[in-house]
Structures are given as structure tokens and as C-alpha cells.
Amino acid sequence: MEDGAGGGRPSEVENRKGRGRRAFRFAPRDLLVYASSSSIRGVLERLLSLLDPNDARPVIPLAHGDPSAFPCFRTTPVAEEAIVSAVRSGEHNRYAPTVGLPSARRAVAEYLSRDVPYKVSPDDIFLTAGCCQAIGVVLSVLGRPGSNILLPRPGYPFYEGRAAFDGLEVRHFDLLPDKGWEVDLDAVEALADENTTALVVINPGNPTGSVLSYEHLKRVAETARKLGIMVIADEVYAHLAFGNNPFVSMGAFGSIVPVLTLGSISKRWVVPGWRLGWIVAHDTNGVLKETQIIEGIKGFLNISTDPATFIQGALPHILENTKEEFFNKTISLLRETADMCYTQIKEIDCLACPHEPEGSMFVMVKLNPAYLVDILDDDDFCNKLAKEESNWLRVTFAIDPCSLQDGLSRVKSFCQRHAKKAESFTSKEETNTTLPLCYTNMW
Ligand SMILES: *Cc1c(COP(=O)(O)O)cnc(C)c1O
């Protein structure tokens, strides 16, 4: 049933069509088309195909959150050396246990214990190939027939894709731009029913750039408890907070409601290619054990691929020895570029930014098409931007300040060129802006 009636198999007639070939009866699952087209990578691929190959100017990647290509965001030598010695030691050439190497689980438990008012046990840590696999594992475990999950809007489309694939019905609650992108808790209560399994919170927020307060997170936990559902907290941007609110882990409320936090070294250490993440159970009342969720996670990991053993082997060294200076440098760079982004976007008539970014690598920008004349002529991308998707863009500021400046000026001149008022037109050459800069986020 999961692929719909017919199981997605092509009809025999179709298979035999023309070409005089033997009839092969295999075909991919229909669900995959939907699941992958809603991923960020899917959207980026579509966007990149729209670039003008004759435009010599560099593409400024304001769309994706991977600053690792910029020298100013290069990871710490501590992490690089840890990998080298893990490889050289010859001790990490074997398979690791499916839940992760004991030493790595212990290191993650130690590292995360700093964020919660109790000690995290290594037994509650499950290592994954990045936070993406953590999401995949958890949603697969929860995807019983008929169940549903509450996801934030705007959110991170990977969840929608995985949920669709795992047969989990998705119900969206809004994040409220005028309240610092807080969860609309009334909507959450209205959406939940007896088949609801979990509520997802992404904090610090992607794509919102928000950092939720202790009080709000506590209210989220209390609401989930009242509804009898767990909280899945995506904390892949943990500690990347540079505004007024400090980062608070949802794990701090594991005594109110069962919480699974998801994280990785991808963002804080700027090494998304290393593929090392985790699922952590914060559940002082043992609900996740009682309900067999922990067994489910272990079971699923038994039939999944593991993160490379040498990366796991390097993890204790990375987590224990990375210097505060490295983190501080990243934070001040992000603060600088976030400020730059926010101030300059405010100056562009057709764009508005309801909430100054305080964390992660993104800011949500609202496009007001009323300021623009029809922009569908020279750029398919902008056509899509304004028409097919709703009028919100996600912009990353996690790139080097010079490129960001360049990217923002190009957005500005693009908007001026398409502005309704004729006065703001500038020189002709300037106006040939390809806008590979931001993409409309999927609501
Ligand atoms: C980047 C990102 C992930 C994926 O992280 P990896 O560790 O690279 O797999 C998950 N969730 C959100 C919200 C992200 O922005």
C-alpha cells in the first residue's frame, strides 16, 4: 500500500512497448520522486541548471548552508589532526558496533552533558552518518501505518521527504515571524490526535535564524506532554547563537517529556562532509524504553550503514580538544555577516526581514512582489521564486564577508532593475544579474 495502488509497477503493456526488448518488470518506488524533489539538494540542482553559462561572474551561493569552501570558515586544525591520527593509529580499520564506538558515545555524552541539568549516559547516544541519517532513523522508527508527525513551517524539507518515504502523514504548524519564529502552540494542539507521534523543533532555526528562549522551549515540552507525544529537537546548529538568547538544549526538558535531540559535527565544526552525527535520548522517566522506541532505534541501526569508524575514533579528540577560540571566531564571523545581511536587505524595497537572525546560518526574507514589475522574462529562476513558491526566501549568511557583500549588491541591483518605479534604474550592464542567490523555501 505504501506506494499507492498498483505498487508503482509499470503495466506489462507499457513495459513491452516498442524496442522489441524483453519485458523487465522492475521500477523504482513512486514515492522517491516526491521525496527527493522536496529536498534542498533537489531544489539546488534545479536552480543550478538555470544559470547562464555565459555569465562570467562568480556564483554567490546564498542558498545552501555549507560554508566549508571558504577559507575563513575552515575547520580547526585540532579536528584535522584528530582524523589523521585516528587513521594512522591503525585501530580504526574495523567495523564499529552499530550504535557507535563506545569511546565516541562516551565523548558525545560528556560533551552534551554540559547543556543539560543532569548527566547524559553513553547508552543514550546513537551515532549516525550526520544529522540527516539521524532524522532518517527516527522517522523510520516512528513511521507506523496511520501515524502522523507535526513539522514546522517554514522548516527543513528533508523531514518532509523522509516522512513521505516512511509513510508518516505530515501536519504542519506555523512558526510565527512576528514572535521571533516561535512555535504556534495553539496550532500544535489543534493538529494533534491519537495518531500523532512527535513534534519537530529546529533550534537554532533553519531557515528562520531564530534562537528559541528557555521559556518557550519549556512551553513546547509541556504542550507535547499534554498531547502525549515526544519532541524531536534538531540541534544541528547547537551553540551557533549570536543574538540575545543563548542556545538552550531541548534535552533540558527531558524530565517533562521524552525528547530525542539530533545533532552532528557538520555545522559547528564546519565539516559537513565528514558525516558524523547523533541521536540522543533525553528521557529521565524512561518512556522511550518503555514504549520500545530505543529498541526500534537500535534495530534500525542494525540494518543501516554506520559512520566511518576512523571518524568515530577521532571524535573524542575533536570534542574534547577544540579550543574556544575556534568557536568564538566562527560566531563572530556569523554575527558580522548576519548583521550585514540584515541591514542591507532592509534597504531593498521589495524585501523585508521580519526578524533579525540570531543563530544558525540563515535568515528568512520576505519578498513583496507588489514592488516589482513582472520579472519572468530574463530569468526562469526568478519566475519560480516569485510565482511557484510562496514569497519567502531563505538566505544564508555563512559565506565570506566579501562574497556576501557582492551577492547582496547583486540582489539589490536586481530588485532595483525590476522595481516598479523607473527612477531606480541603473546602468544596463549592471542589470544582467543571474540570481543564483537564494531560493524560495518550501512552505
Ligand atoms: C544541515 C542540517 C542537517 C543535516 O546535517 P548533517 O549533519 O550534515 O547531516 C539537519 N538538519 C538541519 C536543520 C540542517 O540545517
Give the neighbor-by-neighbor strand order of the sheet with 169-176.
Answer: 125-128, 277-282, 259-264, 230-234, 196-202, 148-153, 169-176, 182-183
pLDDT, residue 360, reads 93
132 lines ligand 1 (CB under 6 A): yes
State the pLDDT confidence band at 139, using cuts at 50, 70 and 90: very high
Which residues 6+ apart lie within 8 Å of 53 measured at CB?
none
Determine, yes or no, domain membership for 185: yes
Report how far ligand 1's centroid is from the alpha carbon of 326 (Å). Answer: 20
**Residue 205 pLDDT exceeds 50:** yes
Ligand 1 neighbourhood includes 251 CB (under 6 angstroms): no
* Residue 26 placed within a domain: no
Q: Is 202's C-beta closer than 6 angstroms to any atom of ligand 1?
A: yes
Render pLDDT for 34-47 as a digit per residue (tens, 0 to 9): 777 666 666 667 66
In this prediction, residues 266-292 reach a mean pLDDT of: 97
User: Are residues 143 and 230 part of one domain?
Assistant: yes
Q: Among 269, 297, 321, which residue terminates a domain? A: 321
65 lines ligand 1 (CB under 6 A): yes
CA 244, CA 205: separation in Å to the nearest integer?
A: 14
> Based on the domain organization, do 105 and 187 belong to the same domain?
yes
**Cβ count within 10 A of residue 184:** 17
Mean per-residue pLDDT for 333-337?
Answer: 94
- Domain residue limits at 372: 33-72+325-440
Q: What is the mean pLDDT of the chain?
A: 85
What's the CATH number where 375 sits? 3.90.1150.10
Our answer on whether the CB atom of 359 is closer than 6 Å to any ligand 1 atom is no
CB of 276 within 6 A of ligand 1: the answer is no
Picking from 403, 405, 395, 397, the residue whose alpha carbon sits closest to that of residue 439 is 395
Instruction: Write the CATH number for 309.
Output: 3.40.640.10
Q: Is 39 in the pocket of ligand 1 (CB under 6 A)?
A: no
pLDDT per position as a tens digit, 315-330: 999 999 999 999 999 9
Ranking 55-64, 372-381, 395-404 by mean pLDDT, the lowest is 372-381
> Which pLDDT score is estimated for 375?
53
Cα 9 to ligand 1 centre (Å): 33
Does residue 367 carry a pLDDT above 80? no
Domain annotation covers residue 23: no
373: which residues sit within 8 A by CB, 6+ positions away?
Answer: 418, 419, 420
Say yes or no: 394 and 290 in one domain. no
Select from 41, 131, 280 the residue to mutate for testing ligand 1; criterion: most ligand atoms less than 8 Å from CB: 131
Q: Is the CB of 438 under 6 A from ligand 1?
A: no
Rounded distance, CA 383 to CA 394, Å? 16
339 phi and psi angles, rounded to 5 deg: -60, -45
Of the residues 159, 202, 236, 237, which should be mutated to test ligand 1's pocket, given the most ligand atoms within 8 Å of the CB? Answer: 236
Distance of CA 388 to the CA centre of its chain: 22
Ligand 1 contact via 66 beta carbon (within 6 Å): no
* Cis before 204? omega within 30: yes
Work out which ligand 1 atom sits closest to the CA atom of 129.
9
pLDDT per residue over 143-162, tens digit each? 999 999 999 999 999 999 99
Per-residue model confidence as pLDDT tens digits over 25-36: 888 888 887 777
Q: Which of 321, 339, 370 is the last residue of a domain?
A: 321
CA distances from 88 to 75, 92, 95 (A): 20, 9, 16
Q: What is the mean pLDDT of residues 117-125?
A: 97
Identify the burial level of 378 via C-beta atoms within 10 angstroms of its C-beta, where 0-12 means exposed, 13-18 middle and 19 or more buried: middle
pLDDT tens profile 75-109: 999 999 999 999 999 999 999 999 999 999 999 99
